[in-house]
Structure 1
Amino acid sequence: MSPPTFAFHHPPPPAAPRNGDPDLQPPIDPPPGTAVSEADYWAHYYEHDNGYEWNNGILEVKPVSDILTLQIYRWLLRLLEFYLDTHHNARLTCLEFGFRLSLPNKTAIRKPDLGLVLDSNAQPLQDLDRSYRGTFDLCVEALSDSTPAEIRRDTEQKRDEYQAAGVPEYYIIHHDPRWQLFYRRNAAGLYEPIPREDGILRSAVVPGFRFRLEDLNCQPSLETMIEDPVYAPFVLPSWQRDRQARAQAEQLVKQERREKERERAKNVVLLAELAKLRGES
């Protein structure tokens, strides 16, 4: 029996000796802004507890979002999981799963808070992958607004990077609707805001996936969504069909019971008339 095949990260370029000393080890917990090679990033920092990203030779740490924004993130993730449970046409990655962006002016390694790869993507996402070797079909970032620089990172820097890398749709989520931004690449390869019809955002990349913008903050319950025509087509449709089948079966039982009761009442009347006729004879 042959051993399993493991999918490693992107093959990094050869590591250069540090200060001419090949035995010098990289720092264990370097601060953001530390310069490291791509080879050292993949070898030492891609799976680091600090959640480093790599921006053209510089380590960057992903900032933390607030609780309200994380609640939106979890609701949107759950909605996408419901969609995929129904359509089975894509796979999701979360948080520490990165991909390499080879851009015209630089190279970066980013870890979107949520990434989606369609099964039709030219580079499928494999079961044993620890990083994605292609370009995501959808990236989602949960915005941190602790500093202006953190806001610019998602709204400007990553937007430009994902646009140049060819990510078809890019969503920025935040508890403040002013920072809820949704982009789609146009025919020229540039991001433009996704049109909203009746307050509903519809993905052109993920067929049939949609949500009300106000629901990002309202976060309706599962019980509400299965009754909502916006979500009903992909939120537990099999459960809805089973429920309808049970309701129809219960209705049939009630109808049969009513027919039996009518038949019983009819028989009672007939027996009474028969008894009356016998008494008169």
Structure 2
Amino acid sequence: MSPSLLADPATLPAADVAPAPGVEPVSEDGRWVSEEAYWREYYFVSDIHYEWNNGRLEEKPVSDYETYLVYRWFMLLLEHFLTSHPIARTVALEMGFRLPLPQGVVIRKPDLGVVRNDNPQPLLPHDCSYHGVFDLCIEALSDRERRGSERDTVVKKAEYAAGGVSEYVILHREPAQQAFYTLGPDGVYVPIAPTDGLICSRVLPGFRFRRQDLCRRPLHASLRDDPVYAHFVLPHWRQAEQRADAEAQRADVEARRADDEARRANDQARRADEAVRRAAAEAAARADAERRAAAAEAALAQLRAERTGRSDTKD
């Protein structure tokens, strides 16, 4: 039976599985049902989310709030990366995918799935389940029960590797419970070795993070100035800030240049005023000298006249 038909709500009859008002839904975890019945009656149930393991229903466990915060920080970081590097798409909202494995068929609903743009099976706008194999699966670990924890850390790890999921990330509030795997050439997951203290994805080249940041959870807006994240977290903001800084620097240079020109103009005006004052002083000095010379000549002429008069009297 085609899973694409089974997961298409337009082709499925509505299943009356909603509990009566005020009645808590009863878990059917462990119940044996056919794959067709799972797609028709359990896949779209919203009160209790089920996966399907080769004929048996498995209820998805719930993570605690702090683990959710780790998951949310990681998801938002991934959204920042895919906004600046749109090489893949993400899906959540309990979207499942079908894995035909040697030991049987499983239908899993990862907490977050990533489909690269070059995946042979594209993610279509109206898909209610993914009809291919995710390139990256992320699970927020629930450790309330050992069975739920082992499902993510052991069972799904083996299933995702066998199904060809290239990378698998397990998130948890405790760093010791976190895991980051990449598919080796032998089809077995190996831990992603940190590079300079960073976890770097091969499925999403350029996507990287510090493990300690998953628990620290710094504000994403602050990461745009962090050299680890600056190339994909709000790069347009940083570029706009850099442009604004450059414009401010240019404005400062222009203002300093205008100030320098104003000072030069003031200096020139002051020198011109000083030249005018010097010319006026020199003109006044010349006029005074001319007056003194004229007075001296007049006095000399008078003296000569007086001497001439005395000589005439004696004669």
Instruction: Provide the TM-score with structure 1 as the length reference.
Output: 0.90
Match of 1:61 among 37, 59, 62: 59
The answer on whether the counterparts of 1:182 and 1:193 sit within 8 Å (CA) in structure 2 is: yes
Q: CA deviation at 1:266?
A: 1.2
Structure 1 unmatched ranges of 5 or more:
1-7, 14-24
Q: Distance in 2 between matches of 1:116 and 1:257?
A: 52
Q: Distance in 1 between matches of 2:204 and 2:179?
A: 17
Structure-2 residue corresponding to 1:279: 277
Alignment of 1:211-250 (within 5 A): 211-250=209-248
Q: Distance in 1 between matches of 2:50 and 2:147?
A: 17
The answer on whether the counterparts of 2:3 and 2:98 sit within 8 Å (CA) in structure 1 is: no
Q: Distance in 2 between matches of 1:152 and 1:212?
A: 25
Greater per-residue helix proportion: 2
Structure-2 residue corresponding to 1:206: 204
Classify the secondary structure of the residue corresponding to 1:197.
coil
Structure-1 residue corresponding to 2:252: 254
Q: Distance in 1 between matches of 2:35 and 2:233?
A: 42
Q: CA deviation at 1:115?
A: 0.3
Match of 1:98 among 96, 104, 109: 96
**Amino acid across the alignment from 2:44:** E
Q: CA deviation at 1:11?
A: 3.2
Q: Distance in 2 between matches of 1:231 and 1:237?
A: 9
The answer on whether the counterparts of 1:9 and 1:129 sit within 8 Å (CA) in structure 2 is: no
Q: CA deviation at 1:223?
A: 3.0
The answer on whether the counterparts of 1:51 and 1:61 sit within 8 Å (CA) in structure 2 is: yes
Task: Encode CA deviations 1:41-88: one digit per residue, 9 max, x unaligned.
Answer: 111110101111111111111101111110011011101111111111
Structure 2 unmatched ranges of 5 or more:
8-14, 19-25, 280-315
The answer on whether the counterparts of 2:17 and 2:45 sit within 8 Å (CA) in structure 1 is: no
Q: CA deviation at 1:26?
A: 8.4
Structure-2 residue corresponding to 1:191: 189
State, as a whole percentage, how many aligned pairs show the same letter.
Answer: 43
The answer on whether the counterparts of 1:35 and 1:58 sit within 8 Å (CA) in structure 2 is: yes
Structure-2 residue corresponding to 1:44: 41
The answer on whether the counterparts of 1:226 and 1:240 sit within 8 Å (CA) in structure 2 is: yes
Structure 1 residue 182 corresponds to structure 2 residue 180: yes
Match of 1:126 among 106, 124, 127: 124
Q: CA deviation at 1:9?
A: 5.3
- CA gap of 1:27–1:198, structure 2 versus 1, over 3 A, is same
**Amino acid across the alignment from 2:104:** K
Q: Distance in 2 between matches of 1:9 and 1:68?
A: 35
Structure-1 residue corresponding to 2:296: none
Structure-1 residue corresponding to 2:4: 10
Instruction: Provide the TM-score with structure 2 as the length reference.
Output: 0.81
Structure-2 residue corresponding to 1:17: none
- Taking only aligned residues, the RMSD between alpha carbons, in angstroms, comes to 1.7
Task: Encode CA deviations 1:82-114: one digit per residue, 9 max, x unaligned.
Answer: 111111111101141000010001111000000
User: After TM superposition, which residue ranges in structure 1, 4 or more long, deviate above 3 angstroms?
Assistant: 25-30
**Amino acid across the alignment from 2:4:** H
The answer on whether the counterparts of 1:199 and 1:214 sit within 8 Å (CA) in structure 2 is: no
Task: Encode CA deviations 1:100-134: one digit per residue, 9 max, x unaligned.
Answer: 01000111100000000000000010111110000
Match of 2:139 among 131, 141, 148: 141
Structure-2 residue corresponding to 1:80: 78
Q: Distance in 2 between matches of 1:87 and 1:26?
A: 43
Q: Distance in 1 between matches of 2:202 and 2:153?
A: 21
Q: Distance in 2 between matches of 1:224 and 1:30?
A: 43
Q: CA deviation at 1:255?
A: 0.7
**Amino acid across the alignment from 1:35:** W
Classify the secondary structure of the residue corresponding to 1:109.
strand
